[in-house]
Homo-oligomer: A and B are copies of this chain.
């Protein structure tokens, strides 16, 4: 019974270690994601500025067509319509709050996450060591008592043995 418990204990400890190392291994990936999202965000901002400048120039061409002599008035109004539709895309891009709803919250969470993982790891190491020592101690106590119980089979020894076994079971 003692060996089963020790095996279980180290299996659980190993699983915990895998999860923790998965979490630690994910930090560079999240950092990279935040970094790339930041770069994309600043690129989109720059593109919005370029789009605005382009649409201003486009509108001037449309005005040119509207105001010049000859049959270009219809062309001018069609170009103006196109320009207005593009303006609505520009407005949508401008209101893309990428940084407020993705990058900043993630960045904040990252700090918390790093802290939590490290404290989980530390706490687990401490508790795990303590639990292993406790289990080892109780295992050797149990072995001793088993030997004694085999030699003399008096009632007190039997009771002590049962109590310790119960203790170990409640530890699980």
Q: Which residues of A contact B (CB under 8 A)?
A: 15, 18-19, 22, 26, 29-30, 32-33, 35-37, 39-40, 43-44, 46-47, 50-51, 53-54, 56-58, 60-61, 64, 68-70
Contact = CB atoms under 8 A, between A and B. Distances in A.
A29 B46 contact: no
A15 B64 CA distance: 17
A60 B19 contact: no
A29 B57 contact: yes
B19 A69 contact: yes
A33 B55 CA distance: 9
Nearest to A46: B43
A26 B57 contact: no
Copies in the complex: 2
A56 B54 CA distance: 30
Contacts of A26: 64, 68
A37 B53 CA distance: 9
B33 A57 contact: yes
Given A69-B18, A69-B19, A58 B40 contact: no
Contacts of A39: 50, 53-54
A43 B61 CA distance: 21
A47 B47 CA distance: 7
A40 B60 contact: no
Nearest to A56: B36
